[in-house]
Amino acid sequence: MPPRKRAIPAAVAPADLVDKQPANADLDALRAEVATEPDSDDAPKAVPLADTTVLVKPFLDWPVSANDDLIAGKFTAWVRKVLHGDDFDVWTRVDPTNRQLIEFLAAVEKISGLPLGSLVASPNS
């Protein structure tokens, strides 16, 4: 049996595309929603660390390698990449305990909206 020929669809007219684009009200609503999401501004956020405060860069400004460090449990390497300015020097002077690290991660979770605890490698993995 010879192969059946398929009909070639007609080209989509630009007028057809206009009807499928969101209305301006939809775009405005989307922009408003994004503006209320955690990390929607570009300013570093103050996060408590032991008896001091450090500034953490917005999540979208973290290098991807910082995500890898966090997943691998390389906290010092991760912090070096996500703290703003000279705040890594503060981290080094504090040399936080594991309890302080957990509190720090919880505070970063709160400001970023990210489930950092679920990304961290467990000691058994």
User: For residues 52 and 94, is the Cβ–Cβ distance under 8 A?
Assistant: yes
Regarding predicted confidence, which is higher, 41 or 82? 82
Domain membership of residue 115 as a residue range: 45-119
- Residue 34 placed within a domain: no
- Residue 61 placed within a domain: yes
Instruction: Say how many C-beta atoms besides its own lie within 10 A of residue 107's C-beta.
Output: 19
Residue 90: what pLDDT?
Answer: 97
Q: What are phi and psi of 72, to 5 degrees?
A: -80, -5
Regarding predicted confidence, which is higher, 24 or 121? 24
Region 9-28 average pLDDT: 58
Q: How far apart are CA 72 and CA 47, in angstroms?
A: 22
- Residue 57 placed within a domain: yes
pLDDT at residue 115 greater than cutoff 60? yes
Q: How far apart are CA 125 and CA 62, in angstroms?
A: 25
pTM confidence score: 0.63
- Residue 106 placed within a domain: yes
Number of structural domains the chain divides into: 1
- Residue 105 placed within a domain: yes
- Residue 52 placed within a domain: yes
Q: Which amino acid is at 16?
A: D
User: For residues 82 and 57, is the Cβ–Cβ distance under 8 A?
Assistant: yes
pLDDT at residue 76 greater than cutoff 90? yes
- Residue 111 placed within a domain: yes
CA atoms within 13 A on the CB side of 46: 3
